[in-house]
Amino acid sequence: MQFMHLARNVAAAAVAALALPASAGATTASLSPSPYDGTGVIIQGPSCLLYQDDASGTVFNNADAGGFGVFGVGDHVRIVAEQYPCFFPSCSGVACINSITLIEAFGAGNDPTTAFCFGDGSTAACPCANESGAGDGEGCENSGGVGAILSGVGSDLLSDDNLVLTIEQGRANQPCVFVQGATQIATPFRDGVLCMGNPTDRLELAFLDSSGVASTTSALGAEGNVTPGQTVHYQVWYRDPAISPCGSGSNLSNGVSMTWL
CATH number of the domain encompassing residue 216: 2.60.40.10
Mean pLDDT, to the nearest integer, of 17-36?
Answer: 41
Residue ending a domain, among 104, 124, 155, is 104
Domain shared by 11 and 126, yes or no: yes
**Structure confidence at residue 82 (pLDDT):** 66
Domain shared by 242 and 119, yes or no: yes
For residue 242, what are the domain limits? 2-16+110-259
Mean pLDDT, to the nearest integer, of 79-98?
Answer: 57
pTM above 0.85, yes or no: no
- Of 44-48, 77-81, 193-197, the least confident: 44-48
Q: Count CB-CB contacts under 10 A for residue 231.
A: 13
Residue ending a domain, among 104, 137, 156, is 104
Domain shared by 124 and 209, yes or no: yes
143: left (phi over 0), alpha (psi -120 to 50) or beta: alpha
Residue 39 binned pLDDT confidence (cut-offs 50, 70, 90): confident
224: left (phi over 0), alpha (psi -120 to 50) or beta: alpha
- Cα(52)–Cα(42) distance, integer angstroms: 6
Q: Are 208 and 17 in contact (CB under 8 A)?
A: no
For the cut 80, the answer to whether the pLDDT of residue 2 exceeds it is: no
**Structure confidence at residue 30 (pLDDT):** 40
Long-range contact pairs involving 20-23 (C-beta distance under 8 Å, separation at least 24): 20/44, 20/52, 20/73, 20/74, 20/160, 20/162, 22/46, 22/50, 22/52, 22/59, 23/59
Residue 223 per-residue DSSP state: H
The answer to whether residue 30 sits within a structural domain is: no
The answer to whether residue 234 sits within a structural domain is: yes
Task: Kindly report the average pLDDT of the chain as a whole number.
Answer: 78
Partners of 30 in beta bridges: none
Residue 104 binned pLDDT confidence (cut-offs 50, 70, 90): low
Residue 100 binned pLDDT confidence (cut-offs 50, 70, 90): low
CA dihedral for 222, 235, 181, 230, sign (positive or negative): negative
Strand 231-239 and strand 175-189: the pairing is antiparallel
DSSP string, 94-130: ---EEEEEEEE---TT---SEEE--TTTTSS--TTS-
Domain shared by 126 and 66, yes or no: no
Residue ending a domain, among 65, 81, 104, is 104
- Cα(3)–Cα(143) distance, integer angstroms: 16
**Structure confidence at residue 91 (pLDDT):** 52
